[in-house]
Amino acid sequence: MKYRILTDEELAPLADEFKHFLIVNGVHTEEWVRINSNSPQKAAELVEIFSDTVLQKVYEKITHLEFRSPDSCIVFHFSSEKVALISIQKKENSDSNFSTVESIHEALTKESESLLFFQTEKKYSITREQEIHHMLEQGCLVSSADFWQSLQEVVN
């Protein structure tokens, strides 16, 4: 398994795609019912393959992630060759809070002198999509190119 098994909640809206996936892999409705009943391990393997396929496609579309805490906000940009980051942290004397978009905007516009900025980039040590998967598992959220661009303008 490359990533993880989709939850029942995630699989539910993908029922039609899963049926199509099974058919493409030579498993029709009656055979799926039989496999699901008689070979739960084989059924689980098919769900794993489907989950990996779905997550791969999702991760390929992600270009930005962010991680927020009360003390910092880190935004990541994923290109084909490397991941770049911009980190904003509050200085000790700052009351800034980076938990919400509004509080980040307020800190950037009204308290930028009490913030520390850091930028770096690195090449992937694993695949781009595996890197995105690990970061999502660690609590990152999907972000936007607009937010990344805004931070670049502030930092530069």
Please give the angle made by the CA atoms of 91, 92 and 93, to the nearest 5 degrees. 95
Determine which of 27-36, 87-96, 126-135 has the lowest per-residue pLDDT on average: 87-96
**Mean pLDDT on 93-112:** 80
Quote the pTM value: 0.85
Res. 94: pLDDT tops 80:
no
CA angle at 103 for the pair 86 and 62, rounded to the nearest 5° = 45
